Structure 1
């Protein structure tokens, strides 16, 4: 499953101040660790130590697009999907591959004549909830919808799928034989879950899961018990069609709440876990009786997206000046104030500083340099007016910033950006939008500047380089890039050796960042308040605990 988009989470505000130096996110650069935290904290508990029964309730809902393979899917969609669809391949917190024997009874990987072959043998008992056998046709359907050969599919990512030359039936229908052109080390990330063949038609891929659920096309220990389409609340119950290990919980409940309301609901005992995204929410939940704080590293990254197709940002000089004006250190201070947390500024869209092979590609290309930004704009013919705002050919240098919701902390972050850009003679116009508009804003590219995040769903970050930077990808919401750069990016996907591939990715990403349309801002910790005894919930890094293993410790 690919990276999953999420809306910006804004946290505690401070006034805009000067930077404490490149790479620093704390009050003193020397206190900043060399890498972000790679720790996991989720109370790992074996299946046989979890009691039968009970309910686990947290905040969440179906998103507009519930198909996680679709380009408009979000993190919420991916998390909900995993509770009533196949979790066939998962990863340990550090990224080791784990095959679920309830779906795959055997997995073999070989290389023949330089081409990789993966043979997946399905559990004989595996069926979709409508009775359709889970077999090689599910793998073929998932590949067909995502390989990019049919542009009618709005696929999130075609990378990897487009390297597959065939998906064929093996010794019988319960065996899928996947052949790649060359070797593809990240193949497991393509089939962590899969589509029911009926869900993989063009019509259903794009539209069937829009504000709808299809439990009949799902599989797993749980299925949908109820879904209130008015409130957005969902209850999952044990699936009578499930053949594998029984789910420990009687019910898994998602309650549709905004972040502030979710914290209050947790304090009132209505939720069993809640994300503590900022100092204020952490303060409210810390020390509550029967509660523990679980905090670890995070495969999240929040970035500033610049719409290269908007009239004012079509000028690369303006985009570069904007990025040079953004004091990322100060943005990170705003996010982390009160959290007792420091990390180096992120330097890549696809790898995290706690991963092998990571390089700070941003710093190799760009520095916080407001004086240089002013020179860029002078050279591009933008002259400063009496009000301090630049103009060219009678047009003011005004750039929109789309702010979701009315969270005062989000407003403060926008205010800090406005103060930074004003020093360069740029007026930031803050455009407010509802959080429900998130997917539409991105898919319709209805923004100038926008802060959004991504969560990596697997450790193979190099695979997603094209999703961020290729000019012909819907997932590249900045619209930047060139055919020549696309060619360079795609060439990295054909490198079989993972270490060599990452080295090549680092080089190409630096070229991509010189489009000045995408600027990583911060990652931050994953912090959760959790009722004591709740097992396998919290900061998991790359791990996605199987639904049947989530529950209450005996």
Structure 2
């Protein structure tokens, strides 16, 4: 879904439906906490109606809702890190490791026989590829694909417009091991979240040419450069549909579904489409109206799970922007009641829900600490701080040096959650003399023409997280001259940059969590962004849909999705 995004590992979601903290069901994976990833342990499973492969009906079409067709199918390119794209390419492009229900990466045996940390000084990771794994072109997947991706994403060549360089910028070399299917990755410095690298993996044919990297995947996925259980059948830009079908060149267990049809619909239209049978599921996320509508659809079950994703308000602090001053951002944040937003948006879905207090960990992950006290709702304090900054009330709106304190809230059209949040913020800030102008823009280019380029004062969307929360978040919070990455608000400092480097290099998960919480404290202190709430992972489906639903921290196995016999 569109208005959501993933930081160099994280996906951004502008739309309203995605994931959050709710009741859970179903089983989890087999991973263990505290491994070298430093990843977060402890989610409580997922709820996907798990059924054994031989109990899934062979065949059928699955209609999967997205908010719009992606502007870019190369997930590693800046415009490609959207939820819509993630859902699509995961059926076709190698994810050599997949997150389990405990938010721990496990190797995918269709692509890897093993992936091991074979040395810590220097850090060396050795991958052994499944010898059956081939691109649809017929070429075996080998070490050259890893080498090309590392060189494209390490930041050394500005011709590659990448979503982030974290993890690749500390690789010293990628070489062949005993065979072309053994990949030896040597790091120049320690990198704890190495399991999050090369996800997804694109072929050297994409990564060796900046033009192909940036432009080759814009109109559609390149079928000969994919390698998954499905392949592209068609992209219908008029009907706003993309269809993938079983891949006859796939070497693993065949997918149960005949095809998956990704249907682009505004959020407001998705509930009715599910009710009339045009969609195979309905993502509820934090929409109370959608939750209530789903409850009215006959023969429907609602699946829920803990999830790692969250809503937030990004502030634009770029030089020259009205919110450049961190003291002004913090004063305004104190005028926004996050509890009201949380309860109005997800209270009926998640009883007892409260605002999120950490930029890098969500509740349910080990290491989570709430450092949001610095922006606790206090309208009187907000008013006094604004007065002290010279923004004095003149009529109903504050002004300074002849300029009114008017901020532009850019949101995507057709996204009820963003609209509701924006109205609440508008009303609350009016009470402290800050005027908010809501600017609804087309969801099709919400990121490309507005968020990515800083064409906003504040904006709302969701970040979709990964089992490697530190490295995947680095691009959101790092600020380096000339490089924005996914730090769309252009807010940061050298202290945060240095701490991110330390956290990514710390192999001891206990020590890493201490550093991460230092980062979060500083992010709150500079008014980087205002977190609102974890998004509920709530999905409505028919009872016969199996191996699909509220996946929580896990990744889907696309060969298992289908319908019960």
Query: Scaled by the length of structure 1, what TM-score is found?
Result: 0.91
Partner of 1:294: 303
Q: 1:68 aligns with which of 52, 59, 75?
A: 75
Partner of 1:362: 372
**1:503 matches 2:514:** yes
Q: Does the 8 Å contact 1:465/1:489 carry over to 2?
A: no
Q: 2:116 aligns with which of 94, 97, 108?
A: 108
Matches of residues 311-390 of structure 1 in structure 2 within 5 Å? 311-363=321-373, 365-385=374-394, 387-390=395-398
Shift of residue 317, structure 1, vs aligned partner: 2.3
**1:145 matches 2:152:** yes
Partner of 1:529: 540
**1:433 matches 2:441:** yes
**1:4 matches 2:14:** no
Shift of residue 438, structure 1, vs aligned partner: 1.3
Shift of residue 48, structure 1, vs aligned partner: 2.6
Q: Does the 8 Å contact 1:388/1:425 carry over to 2?
A: yes
**1:454 matches 2:460:** no
Shift of residue 529, structure 1, vs aligned partner: 0.9
Matches of residues 469-488 of structure 1 in structure 2 within 5 Å? 469-472=477-480, 473-488=484-499
Tell me the SS of whatever aligns to 2:559: helix
**1:178 matches 2:189:** no
> How far apart are the structure 1 equivalents of 2:61 and 2:522?
50
Partner of 1:44: 50
Tell me the SS of whatever aligns to 2:438: strand
Deviations for 1:270-309, whole angstroms, at most 9, x for unmatched residues?
A: 2111112322222222253332111122211111111012
**1:230 matches 2:230:** no
Matches of residues 20-59 of structure 1 in structure 2 within 5 Å? 38-59=44-65
User: Structure 2: 5+ residue runs without aligned partners?
Assistant: 1-7, 23-40
Shift of residue 484, structure 1, vs aligned partner: 4.1
Kindly report the root-mean-square deviation, in angstroms, between the aligned alpha carbons of the 2 structures: 2.1
> How far apart are the structure 2 equivalents of 1:132 and 1:88?
17
> How far apart are the structure 2 equivalents of 1:318 and 1:378?
10
Query: Scaled by the length of structure 2, what TM-score is found?
Result: 0.89
**1:160 matches 2:170:** no
> How far apart are the structure 1 equivalents of 2:236 and 2:534?
33
Shift of residue 340, structure 1, vs aligned partner: 4.8
> How far apart are the structure 2 equivalents of 1:236 and 1:124?
25
> How far apart are the structure 1 equivalents of 2:478 and 2:417?
33
Partner of 2:35: none
Shift of residue 337, structure 1, vs aligned partner: 4.3
Q: 1:216 aligns with which of 221, 224, 249?
A: 224
Tell me the SS of whatever aligns to 1:125: coil
Shift of residue 485, structure 1, vs aligned partner: 3.3
445-454 or 210-219, which moves further after superposition? 210-219
> How far apart are the structure 2 equivalents of 1:38 and 1:493?
26
Deviating above 6 A after TM superposition, structure 1's stretches of 4 or more consecutive aligned residues are none
Shift of residue 453, structure 1, vs aligned partner: 0.8
**1:283 matches 2:292:** yes
Q: Does the 8 Å contact 1:146/1:158 carry over to 2?
A: yes
Tell me the SS of whatever aligns to 1:496: coil
